[in-house]
A = this chain, B = another copy of it.
Amino acid sequence: MSILHTVNKSPFEKNALSSCLGHTKSGDGVLLIEDAVYGALKGTKSSDQVEAAKSTVGLYVLGPDLAARGLAADRLLDGVTVVDYGGFVDLVAKYDTTQAWL
């Protein structure tokens, strides 16, 4: 069964995103919300790890949380899809189950 993994912590502060990416399987999705949206940026010390995950998992980021933090779309890694809260709901419905990396 496919899993939508949600991560809400900055990759620079906590190990949640790193641990999450180490436990995904092909066909899973990873949605970055709250302070985890920093994980979707290019040119940071955590970008390579997220970039590497793109070939097997779907990467999503919550637009409202990006905007709150002043992050424009042109700073995101290629291939990351921006969704709103409605899109968040659609993702939860699309994947078979949901796992929060708290």
Interface size class of A (residues with CB under 8 A): under 10
Interface residues of A in 1-29 (CB under 8 A from B): 12-15
Least Cβ–Cβ distance between A8 and chain B, in angstroms: 14
Q: Is the interface of A mostly helix, strand, loop or mixed?
A: loop
Chain B residues near A14 (CB-CB < 8 A):
13-15
Closest to A9 in B: B14
Chain B residues near A12 (CB-CB < 8 A):
15
CA gap between A15 and B13 in the complex, in Å: 5
CA gap between A14 and B12 in the complex, in Å: 8
Chain B residues near A13 (CB-CB < 8 A):
14-15
Interface residues of A (CB under 8 A from B): 12-15
